[in-house]
Amino acid sequence: MPYHYVIGVVGAGALGSHLVQFGRNWKPPFFAKDETDRLLIKVIDFDRVEAKNMLGQFHGKQGKGRNKAQALAQSIQGQFGVKIATTPYKLTSDNIDNVMSECFLIVDCTDNIKARRLIQSYAEQANKHCIHGALSADGTFGQVIWTEDFTPDPEAAGQATCEDGEGLPFHSLVASRLALVVQRFLTDGTKQSFQISHAGTTLVKSVKCQVTMLVKSVSW
């Protein structure tokens, strides 16, 4: 059966890996025209699972040495029976349109400013909905923010380390908030942005938008 709505998740590390398992039950957006419409999550990541990743990311021993996107897809399929599409190579200015053209929503879970700028620029040019999830390098602060209000910060480049596993609860907290924000957008078109710290979560902005788009049907 074809999938009518595709969500592209870029990055399957500290945020993206947890996001996908939290979002595995996402339903088609509120503007879906038919009850049979289906939603597909597509994960893009070129990196491989290392032993240190298993301490703070949703990757297990069976995925060690494998591409992160493919390993995550296998885990989700095996544990929950949910199909995940994958693009196991690096997103670049040359391939981003080919990879992302079918996505109506892009979720940026990358950890470097170059990738963030590429994703944001493409989303603006292609008129895609895009949300960014970010962790500070020290793992004490997170952001969930829609691209309309997002400014990549060179000083905040890098992502919290997963090497000792201590950041796992906070990584999961930020990823779960990101999953909830996407779920709210799918439910009624509301775009919410948050700042998250160990002290609590702050709603920065909430806007309800009217979503109209051309639906492209794809098969996997």
Work out the percent of the chain whose per-residue pLDDT is above 70: 89
Residue 176 within any structural domain of the chain: yes
Show contacts of 150-153: CB within 8 Å, 24+ apart.
150/116, 150/120, 152/113, 152/116, 152/117, 152/120, 153/113
pLDDT band at 50 (very low <50, low <70, confident <90, very high): confident
Q: How many CA atoms lie within 13 A of 46 on its CB side?
A: 7
Q: What CATH number is attached to the domain comprising 16?
A: 3.40.50.720
Residue 216 within any structural domain of the chain: no
Residue 35 within any structural domain of the chain: yes
Which residues make beta-bridge pairs with 202?
Answer: 195
188: containing domain: 5-208
How many domains does the chain contain in total?
Answer: 1
Going edge to edge, which strands form the sheet with 84-87?
84-87, 39-44, 5-10, 103-108, 129-135, 141-146, 190-197, 200-208
Range 28-53 average pLDDT? 88
Residues 162-185: tens digit of each pLDDT: 566 788 899 999 999 999 999 999
Residue 215 within any structural domain of the chain: no
> Is residue 82 over pLDDT 90?
yes
Residues 143-165: tens digit of each pLDDT: 999 999 999 876 554 555 556 67
Range 28-35 average pLDDT? 85
Question: Which H or E element spans position 178?
Answer: helix 168-188
By the 8 A CB rule, do 175 and 201 touch? no
What pLDDT score does 162 carry? 57
Residues 121-147: tens digit of each pLDDT: 999 999 999 999 999 888 889 999 999
What pLDDT score does 188 carry? 92
What pLDDT score does 32 carry? 85
Range 197-216 average pLDDT? 79
What pLDDT score does 34 carry? 81
Residues 185-202: tens digit of each pLDDT: 999 999 999 999 999 999
Residue 18 within any structural domain of the chain: yes
Sign of the dihedral through C-alpha 67, 58, 22, 155: negative
Q: What distances in angstroms separate CA 65 from CA 85, 105, 110, 144, one per listed residue?
A: 19, 29, 20, 30
Residue 80 within any structural domain of the chain: yes
pLDDT band at 31 (very low <50, low <70, confident <90, very high): confident
What pLDDT score does 159 carry? 55
Q: What is the pTM of this model?
A: 0.91
**Averaged pLDDT of the chain:** 88
What pLDDT score does 184 carry? 97
pLDDT band at 97 (very low <50, low <70, confident <90, very high): very high
Work out the percent of the chain whose per-residue pLDDT is above 90: 69
Residue 95 within any structural domain of the chain: yes
- Comparing 97 with 160, which gets the higher pLDDT? 97
